[in-house]
Chains A and B, each alone.
Chain A
């Protein structure tokens, strides 16, 4: 189970790299839209999986797809270094927007995923 979880984490990281790269190519910006999108999607999915397990689903799903895939897919460190980079460039609004914006979109995304799982 641990091996499967770790491999899913690797898959998640590769998906993050691919999706972020695709967003960067299509929408070049100083603001890290790609990482924001990744973190919102991953929080939505982990919220959904958490809701499924709370509703009686096999917790191994949450372990492999949640701790593995969603954990590898989403990133905290890049969000922090992006914010620090924007602050160093004195782009204060973008830095604050990235920090507050990510928090303000991912927590409702997690709640939304949890709520949708409860409806199933």
Chain B
């Protein structure tokens, strides 16, 4: 039996989802207005992606044991689209840039908004999926 991460079709599915997610993240960076030195676009995609992934994982979990079809949804939409939409590397580099520029307060606010907001977004997505399937 092939393990999922070595199955070429699943790798392609994750790649296709990641392409869509990356395109959406790039589009968001073009339309989300700048807020001074605060990286609003990254925060927006990270919170949106966390919400969708929280919703998706709970929704799939409530459908019982994972079938090949449910796994394709999790990998394509979750690992692919949500993973490609959200980014940790931009978050880390932006924090480094803020700290380098001496904007410690903005860096603290940005990390708090991202981490607390990300967990809240996951929780909101989870609760919504739980209510929907109750």
Contacts and interface: CB of A to CB of B under 8 A. Distances in A.
Interface of B: 3-6, 10-12, 14-23, 25-26, 29, 46, 49-50, 52-54, 57, 75, 78-80, 82-93, 95-97, 99-100, 111, 114-115, 118-119, 121-123, 126
A111 to B, nearest CB: 5
B88 A13 contact: no
| Dominant secondary structure at the A interface | helix
A29 interface: no
A84 B54 contact: yes
Nearest to A11: B15
Interface string A76-88: 1111110110010
A2 B52 CA distance: 24
B21 A13 contact: yes
Contacts, number: 194
B89 A45 contact: yes
A115 B6 CA distance: 35
A107 interface: yes
A12 interface: yes
Size bracket, chain A contacts: 35 or more
A107 to B, nearest CB: 5
Contacts of B20: 6
Given A21-B3, A46-B93, A2 B23 contact: yes
Interface string A105-118: 01101110010000
The interface centre, meaning the residue of B22, B93, B100 with most chain A CB atoms within 10 A of its CB, is: B93
Given A18-B11, A72-B84, A107-B96, A77 B53 contact: yes
